[in-house]
């Protein structure tokens, strides 16, 4: 099971996230929220996960079908309420490939909604938090 670990030190809000596969990224808050703006906010990381998963899933499907897809862009927007809870995500999908038919484009749009992160966000995922 993959494990990601977030570590926060004396710098306000700056969090180093490492994966057990050796990757690292930074999360932070913007300057106006007391952070240093050195990384994506947690909400942006959530939106980034959806964007990446949509692009990868669409690309894999088109490759498997040998369709002439030359590029994918998934622009994800997020809305938050006053408590900063993400209340809505929107995904605008751009498909590059002049020879894609309209039928193929519509199928890839449906495939985008079947990516694992999309399915996860649409369902209820239990989260267990405990002291280590």
What CA–CA distance (Å, rounded) separates 54 from 127?
A: 23
pLDDT at 1: 85
55: which residues sit within 8 A by CB, 6+ positions away?
72, 73, 74
H/E stretch holding 117: helix 116-122
Q: With contact defined as beta carbons under 8 Å apart, do 117 and 57 qualify? A: no
What's the rounded Cα separation, in Å, for the pair 89 and 46?
Answer: 10
Cα-based angle 45, 18, 121 (whole degrees, multiple of 5): 35
* 8 neighbors 14 (Cβ within 8 angstroms): yes
Higher pLDDT, 92 or 1: 92
pLDDT attached to residue 84: 85
Residue 9's pLDDT is 96
Judge if pTM exceeds 0.85: yes
CB 101 within 8 A of CB 30: no
pLDDT at position 124 is 84
Instruction: Name the band, by pLDDT with cuts 50, 70 and 90, for residue 36.
Output: very high
Percent of the chain with pLDDT over 90: 95
**pLDDT confidence of residue 31:** 97
């Amino acid at each position: 099971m993959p494990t990601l670990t977030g570590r926060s030190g004396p710098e306000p809000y700056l969090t180093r996230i490492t994966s057990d596969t050796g990757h690292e990224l930074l999360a932070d808050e913007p300057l106006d929220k007391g952070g240093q703006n050195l990384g994506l906010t947690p909400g942006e990381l959530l939106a980034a996960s959806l964007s990446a998963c949509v692009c990868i899933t669409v690309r894999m499907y088109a490759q498997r079908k040998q369709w002439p897809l030359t590029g994918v862009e998934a622009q994800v927007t997020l809305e938050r309420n006053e408590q900063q809870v993400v209340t809505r995500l929107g995904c605008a999908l751009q498909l590059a490939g002049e020879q894609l038919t309209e039928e193929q484009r519509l199928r890839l749009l449906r495939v985008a909604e079947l990516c694992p992160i999309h399915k996860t966000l649409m369902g209820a995922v239990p989260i267990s938090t405990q002291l280590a």
